[in-house]
């Protein structure tokens, strides 16, 4: 066991798996010599050499495109996109090839690759550094989209992602990279992809969220507890494929449902989850299932971002409304 | 024509003034008066002073992430000075000197780095595009502006910028290719400051120079000492004149050096030796132009110091205004998404206002 923050856990996990499996290669912009702009890959080039951990030119399409080739030719590439807001040039590769190769070749060519990216907002950064790609990526059949909310989960989920036989997009909430430390086992453990986690049992309302918002929701929960509201809180952990079962079981118990995400509201994962709840627990509902999400606008620059991102008070207000409906 | 003598495959770099401020190519000195050179020099000095002030404010926690320009002032001001007011300016994100020359108020610049959207709104008549953060994405806009000038039969030329790292992304090649195919009146300026964050220039491409990339696009190119104001002016003017006369695009590689960090979030000691930085310091574009102007008798050390001090105070005053007025209004988040606010956005806006009111009570 060692105390690690989230970025430290990512670094440790990459190190661990590169040490265990020679086919794992790690690359991206500023990933090699500098060890990543967030220091996720620090020390890896020194330890494993520039053949297995290296800097690339600035070219996201080629970063993902070469990962496809490497994966077909026996490696397990873990590519880094410097910020999820710079993934767009790679979308042609992600949508047209990463997501489809298995299906296109009738299972002959699968892509055991991982694309990691810092994700989400609230870090007072320049334009395009606060993006939420949940909606865009979640919509593409063939991708697994995973996002951890703790250092412990980061390791377990990333190990599963690297060992998975299908492509995984690993969204790392940059806001909480260094927010807190947690005991993380140094030995092997995995957390299954596609499984949500019930963080707290409750009876009055089911609240689902993921990424950095998990911690804000836990704060909101403290506010609500003082008012006697007992929420069940679920960390989705994998955005796609979605764990409908855990959520529906919970809503059947609580009768109320709130989903909270950073991405803009319209057409977002909240809409998908509410559809699932309607399909699977309609007769149990005592209030309209509700989304608390980003406004349908471009994510504001730092001076305005506190209006866009929900804090615990606003989350509590939204949940309270559903409970009191 | 400069491009013939200094074309991409000639292995030569255009320099008019050397590191000491001595004119090494008297025949090529552009036809500007001492006073005009002094004015351009002052813009370089404003750029550096505004940069230093921004860095200081950032360290005090008052400015957010900032990308300094130190060492690249000649590449920026020299190229912008060769433009006419009516020409189009397309920046990447490290072109402060060019912005100030083009009449973008320092307040707008500081607002941008303060994290307010109004930092991308320029006064009427300033034909500049806003900063484009996604590397390379701006170049096609530049080509489009230039194609439109052609289609409309107008004489405007576009000048568009990118960094050395930016030449690796597909958008760069696509833009150059389009510009060549459509004979667009555009000048591309690569500010080769030798680094893309931590990645050294030689790791971006096997090509010996970046300007070589012009060859494949079939367009002229020229390698220029980017720390030489006169050379930058001369090369850009040459390219702009050709474009204006229907001669199509040109690629300019401004060979320069980023003396500071990539941004305030970056620590350059992690990836480059101090000795390398020391080697570049004597090539400082401001130092050499100052020596030249002093030798011409139109400037002095005392004036230089006084100018920096005065502009530094002005910059601080501008920043104080930004601090006082730089918080966006809630409606600013919503009202620029479309011309008319659609019902669902209006609903979100009103619901949020209601929430805020409830919180105050
Ligand atoms: C498409 C894209 N990928 C990554 C980034 C992150 N990023 C910001 S600046 C930068 C380096 C740019 O280097 P260069 O083009 O040489 O310009 P310089 O910063 O040196 O002026 C990178 C990789 C980005 N802005 N856009």
What is the structure's pLDDT at B361? 58
- For tokens 């090699």, name the residue: A32
Could you tell me if the CB of B75 is within 6 A of ligand 1? no
Residues A143 and A201 in one domain: no
Distance CA B297, CA B279 (A): 29
- For tokens 């030796």, name the residue: B273
> Would you call A313 an interface residue with chain B, using a CB distance cutoff of 8 Å?
yes
pTM to 2 decimal places: 0.97
> Would you call B165 an interface residue with chain A, using a CB distance cutoff of 8 Å?
yes
Test A33 with B114 for CB contact under 8 angstroms: no
> Would you call B271 an interface residue with chain A, using a CB distance cutoff of 8 Å?
yes
Q: Which of residues 186-225 of B touch A (CB under 8 A)?
A: 196-199, 203-205
Could you tell me if the CB of B165 is within 6 A of ligand 1? yes
Residues A266 and A120 in one domain: no
Q: How far is CA A160 from the centre of its chain?
A: 13
Residues A168 and A252 in one domain: no
How long a stretch of residues is chain B? 361
Residues A148 and A57 in one domain: yes
Q: How deeply is B195 buried, as exposed, middle or buried, from its count of CB atoms within 10 A (0-12, 13-18, 19+)?
A: buried
Where are chain B's structural domains?
Answer: 2-328, 329-361
Query: A with B: how many residue pairs have Cβ under 8 Å apart?
Result: 113
- What is the token pair recorded at B35? 């006073």
Residues A211 and A174 in one domain: no
Residues A87 and A155 in one domain: yes
What is the structure's pLDDT at B251? 98
User: Which residues of chain B neighbour A314 with C-beta distances below 8 Å?
Assistant: 355
Comparing alpha-carbon positions, the chain B residue that sits nearest to A293 is: B348
> Would you call B332 an interface residue with chain A, using a CB distance cutoff of 8 Å?
yes
Give the mean pLDDT of A250-278.
Answer: 98
Comparing alpha-carbon positions, the chain B residue that sits nearest to A87 is: B134
Could you tell me if the CB of B139 is within 6 A of ligand 1? no
A209 falls within a domain: yes
Of B202, B271, B320, B336, the catalytic one is B271
User: Which residues of chain B neighbour A295 with C-beta distances below 8 Å?
Assistant: 333-334, 345, 348-349, 352
DSSP string, A165-180: SS-EEEEEEGGGTTS-
SS3 assignment, position A302: helix
What is the structure's pLDDT at A80? 98
The parts of chain B modelled with pLDDT lower than 50 are: none
B2-328 belongs to which homologous superfamily? Thiamin diphosphate (ThDP)-binding fold, Pyr/PP domains (3.40.50.970)
- What is the token pair recorded at B309? 């001090």
Could you tell me if the CB of A232 is within 6 A of ligand 1? no
Phi then psi for residue A114, to 5 deg, are: -125, 135
Give the mean pLDDT of A243-268.
Answer: 98
User: Which residues of chain A neighbour B198 with C-beta distances below 8 Å?
Assistant: 30, 33-34, 55
Tell me which residue of B69, B45, B41 sits closest to B55, measured CA to CA. Answer: B69
Distance CA B206, CA A90 (A): 23
SS3 assignment, position A318: helix
Please give the sequence-ordered ranges of beta strands (E in DSSP) within B180-288, or none if there are none.
186-192, 195-196, 199-200, 221-225, 250-255
- What is the token pair recorded at B36? 């005009």
Residues with Cβ within 8 Å of A317's Cβ and at least 6 positions away in sequence, in order, are B355, B358
Test A308 with B165 for CB contact under 8 angstroms: no
Tell me A98's DSSP state.
Answer: I
**List of long-range contacts for A44-49, beta carbons under 8 Å, 24+ apart:** A44/A11, A44/A14, A44/A15, A44/A18, A47/A15, A47/A18, A48/A18, A48/A19
> Would you call B118 an interface residue with chain A, using a CB distance cutoff of 8 Å?
no
- For tokens 């320092």, name the residue: B106
What is the structure's pLDDT at B1? 77
Residues A209 and A279 in one domain: yes
> Would you call B58 an interface residue with chain A, using a CB distance cutoff of 8 Å?
no
CATH number where A172 lies: 3.40.50.970
Distance CA B132, CA B139 (A): 10
Sheet containing A53-55: order of strands: A53-55, A24-28, A76-80, A114-119, A168-173, A144-146, A238-240
Q: How far is CA A318 from the centre of its chain?
A: 23
Predicted confidence (pLDDT) per residue in B100-154, tens digit: 999 999 999 999 999 999 999 999 999 999 999 999 999 999 999 999 999 999 9
A192 falls within a domain: no
List the single residue in B165, B166, B326 with the smallest CB-CB distance to A303. Answer: B326
Last residue of a domain, one of A184, A213, A244: A184
Q: How many domains does chain A have?
A: 2
Judge whether B262 counts as a catalytic residue: yes
Give the mean pLDDT of A2-21.
Answer: 98
Residue identifier of the C-alpha nearest atom 6 of ligand 1: A82
In chain A, pLDDT over 70 holds for what percent of residues?
Answer: 100
**B105: closest CA of chain A, how far (Å):** 20
Answer yes or no: are the C-beta atoms of B92 and B72 closer than 8 Å: no
Residue A285's domain comprises 197-323
What is the structure's pLDDT at B319? 98
Please give the sequence-ordered ranges of beta strands (E in DSSP) within chain A, or none if there are none.
2-4, 24-28, 53-55, 76-80, 114-119, 144-146, 168-173, 182-184, 197-200, 205-209, 231-235, 238-240, 257-264, 290-294
The conformational region for residue A142 under phi > 0 = left, psi -120 to 50 = alpha, else beta, is left
> Would you call B108 an interface residue with chain A, using a CB distance cutoff of 8 Å?
no
- For tokens 């255009």, name the residue: B14
Test B333 with A297 for CB contact under 8 angstroms: yes
What is the structure's pLDDT at B18? 98
Last residue of a domain, one of A149, A184, A219: A184
Answer yes or no: are the C-beta atoms of B152 and B140 closer than 8 Å: no
Nearest atom in ligand 1 to the alpha carbon of residue B162 is 15
CATH number where A275 lies: 3.40.50.920
A191 falls within a domain: no
> From residue B30, how far is each of A55, A169, B55, B238 by CA, in Å?
41, 54, 34, 10
**B347: closest CA of chain A, how far (Å):** 10
Distance CA B116, CA B170 (A): 30
Last residue of a domain, one of A184, A210, A230: A184
């Amino acid at each position: 066991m060692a105390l690690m923050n989230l970025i430290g856990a990512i670094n440790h996990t990459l190190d661990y798996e590169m040490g265990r499996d020679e086919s794992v290669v790690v690359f991206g912009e500023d990933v090699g010599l500098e060890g990543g702009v967030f220091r996720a890959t620090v020390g890896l080039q020194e330890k494993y050499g520039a053949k297995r951990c290296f800097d690339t030119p600035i070219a996201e399409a080629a970063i993902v495109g070469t990962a496809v080739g490497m994966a077909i030719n026996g490696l397990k590439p873990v590519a880094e996109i410097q910020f999820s807001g710079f993934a767009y040039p790679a979308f042609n590769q992600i949508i047209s090839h990463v997501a489809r190769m298995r299906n296109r070749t009738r299972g002959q060519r699968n892509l055991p690759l991982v694309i990691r990216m810092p994700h989400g907002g609230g870090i007072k950064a320049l334009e395009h550094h606060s993006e939420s790609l949940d909606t865009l990526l979640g919509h593409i059949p063939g991708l697994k989209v995973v996002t951890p909310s703790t250092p412990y989960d980061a390791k377990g989920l990333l190990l599963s992602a690297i060992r998975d036989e299908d492509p995984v997009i690993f969204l790392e909430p940059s806001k909480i990279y260094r927010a807190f430390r947690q005991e993380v086992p140094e030995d092997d453990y995995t957390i299954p992809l596609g499984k949500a986690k019930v963080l707290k049992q409750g009876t009055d309302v089911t609240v689902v969220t993921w990424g950095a918002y998990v911690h804000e929701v836990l704060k909101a929960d403290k506010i609500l507890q003082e008012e006697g509201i007992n929420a069940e809180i679920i960390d989705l952990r994998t955005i796609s494929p979605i764990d409908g079962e855990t959520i529906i079981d919970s809503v059947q118990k609580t009768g109320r449902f709130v989903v909270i995400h950073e991405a803009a509201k319209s057409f977002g994962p909240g809409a998908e989850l509410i559809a699932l709840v309607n399909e699977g627990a309609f007769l149990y509902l005592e209030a309209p299932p509700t989304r608390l999400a980003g406004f349908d606008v471009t994510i504001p620059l730092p001076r305005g971002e506190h209006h866009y991102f929900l804090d615990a008070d606003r989350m509590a207000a939204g949940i309270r409304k559903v409970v009191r409906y | 024509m400069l491009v013939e003598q200094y074309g991409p495959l000639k292995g030569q770099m255009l320099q008019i003034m050397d590191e000491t401020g001595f004119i090494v190519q008297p025949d090529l000195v552009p036809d500007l008066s001492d006073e005009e050179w002094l004015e351009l020099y002052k813009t370089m000095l404003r750029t550096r002073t505004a940069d230093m002030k921004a860095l200081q404010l950032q360290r005090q926690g008052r400015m957010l992430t900032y990308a300094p320009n130190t060492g690249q002032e000649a590449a920026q001001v020299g190229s912008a000075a060769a433009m006419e007011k009516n020409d189009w300016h397309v920046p990447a994100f490290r072109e402060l000197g060019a912005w100030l020359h083009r009449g973008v108020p320092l307040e707008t610049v500081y607002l941008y780095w303060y994290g307010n959207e109004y930092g991308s709104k320029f006064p009427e008549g300033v034909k500049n595009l806003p900063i484009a953060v996604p590397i390379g994405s701006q170049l096609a806009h530049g080509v489009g502006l230039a194609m439109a000038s052609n289609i409309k039969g107008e004489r405007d030329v576009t000048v568009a910028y990118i960094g050395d790292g930016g030449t690796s992304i597909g958008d760069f090649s696509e833009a150059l290719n389009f510009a060549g195919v459509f004979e667009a009146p555009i000048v591309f300026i690569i500010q080769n400051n030798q680094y893309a964050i931590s990645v050294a220039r030689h790791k971006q491409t096997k090509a010996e120079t970046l300007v070589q990339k012009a060859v494949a696009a079939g367009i002229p190119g020229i390698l220029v000492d980017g720390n030489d104001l006169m050379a930058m002016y001369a090369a850009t003017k040459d390219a702009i004149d050709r474009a204006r006369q229907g001669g199509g695009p040109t690629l300019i590689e401004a060979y320069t050096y980023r003396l500071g960090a990539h941004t305030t979030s970056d620590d350059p000691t992690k990836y480059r030796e101090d000795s390398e930085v020391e080697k570049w310091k004597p090539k400082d574009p401001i130092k050499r132009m100052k020596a030249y102007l002093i030798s011409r008798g139109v400037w002095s050390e005392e004036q230089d110091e006084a100018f920096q001090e005065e502009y530094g105070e002005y910059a601080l005053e501008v920043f104080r205004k930004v601090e006082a007025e730089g918080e966006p209004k809630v409606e600013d988040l919503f009202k620029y998404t479309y011309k008319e606010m659609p019902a669902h956005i209006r609903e979100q806006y009103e619901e949020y206002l209601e929430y805020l009111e409830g919180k105050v009570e």
